[in-house]
Amino acid sequence: MPDDVKAPKAIEDEPRYLTSVARGFRVLEELSVAPGPLTLSELARSTGLTVPTVQRLTATLTDAGYLEKEPDTKRYRSTVKTVDLLYSYLSRNEFAKTAWPHLVRLREELKLDVSLSVPLGSSMIYVHRLPGYRGNFENTLPGKRLPMQLSASGRCHLAAKSDQDVQSFLASSDLTPLTARSLIEPEDIFAAIEESRANGYCLVEQETSLGLATIACPVTRGMEVVAGVSVHAPIAAASRETLVERVLPTLVSVALAICSSSP
């Protein structure tokens, strides 16, 4: 179950807190990170809820149009109606709007994949993805989440925190790798974050997707890192040196432009 959907005990004790609503979103959250549709038993196991509870929640969400059940497998999956939520956010969010033309310029100048991601709990979630080459379809979709400690933008975000906060984050986070190249030892991840802090940018190679390198710069508001701008390139076409020499100057320029134009 994603850490981001667990409510602190203090919130659960709040009189206005509706447990049923929170549990419904927990089901939607679990389906959003699952590799495919899930059965009632699988949802119960991953959410920590009982099967009867999950059955009531999925029935309600199906009636509301947010879930559908596959007739053959009896597995549940999200429907196209959930896309409305993403559209609502992107079309009304001033930060997403003001960042867009800068990202387009970055993509057009570099002819590479470009993205903007923001922190969400212990993850980074992509708000914008602009494809610049024929890469993996999934890697071009907004809404995808990556563990903060593996994401280039996420390490930029963590680099702005104190050493104590970073160590606490790593001690409490799930450090499951995404690829065979993912860093999984806390001391190795901490060293990579320290390097990002010293450089002012982060470069990640094949830790979130095999064959892909990502270089990212932070977007700040005051002293706070609120997002990360990333450029993604296939390893076969761009070495580490090439990314730093060719991509980084333009990336820094765009990150600063987003900082100065953001509301």
CATH of residue 124's domain is: 3.30.450.40
Q: Are residues 119 and 46 in the same domain?
A: no
Q: Are residues 179 and 251 in the same domain?
A: yes
Q: Are residues 49 and 127 in the same domain?
A: no
Q: What is the extent of the structural domain holding 149?
A: 93-261
**Is residue 87, in this structure, part of any structural domain at all?**
no
Summarised one tens digit per residue, pLDDT across range 31-52 is 988 889 999 999 999 999 999 9
Query: How many other CB atoms are found less than 10 A from the CB of residue 76?
Result: 25
113-120/123-130 β-pairing: antiparallel
Q: Are residues 222 and 112 in the same domain?
A: yes
User: Which of 82, 115, 149 is the C-terminal boundary of a domain?
Assistant: 82
254: confidence class by pLDDT, cuts 50, 70, 90 = very high
**Is residue 88, in this structure, part of any structural domain at all?**
no
Q: Are residues 98 and 76 in the same domain?
A: no
- Measured in degrees and rounded to the nearest 5, phi and psi for residue 132 equal -120, -10
Q: State the pTM of this model.
A: 0.84
Which of the pair, 138 or 211, is modelled with greater confidence? 211
Q: Are residues 62 and 99 in the same domain?
A: no
Q: Are residues 163 and 185 in the same domain?
A: yes
Q: Are residues 63 and 125 in the same domain?
A: no
Domains of the chain: total: 2
**Is residue 111, in this structure, part of any structural domain at all?**
yes
Tell me what pLDDT residue 5 has: 44
Model confidence at 2: pLDDT above 50: no
Closest among 88, 106, 96 to 126, alpha carbons compared: 96
User: Which of 82, 116, 144 is the C-terminal boundary of a domain?
Assistant: 82
Q: Are residues 129 and 231 in the same domain?
A: yes
Model confidence at 237: pLDDT above 90: no
User: Which of 50, 82, 114 is the C-terminal boundary of a domain?
Assistant: 82
Summarised one tens digit per residue, pLDDT across range 131-185 is 986 666 777 788 889 999 999 999 999 999 999 999 999 999 999 999 999 999 9
User: Helices 94-110 & 248-261, crossing angle to 10 degrees?
Assistant: 160
Distance (Å) of CA 239 to CA 24, 203, 214, 216:
45, 11, 11, 15
Write out the DSSP string of the chain. --GGGPPPHHHHTSTT--HHHHHHHHHHHHHHHSSS-B-HHHHHHHHT--HHHHHHHHHHHHHTTSEEE-TTT--EEE-GGGHHHHHHHHHH-HHHHHHHHHHHHHHHHH-SEEEEEEEETTEEEEEEEE--SS--GGGG-TT-EEETTTSHHHHHHHHTS-HHHHHHHHHHS----SSTT---SHHHHHHHHHHHHHHTSEEEESSSSTTEEEEEEEEEETTEEEEEEEEEEETTT--HHHIIIIIHHHHHHHHHHHHHH--
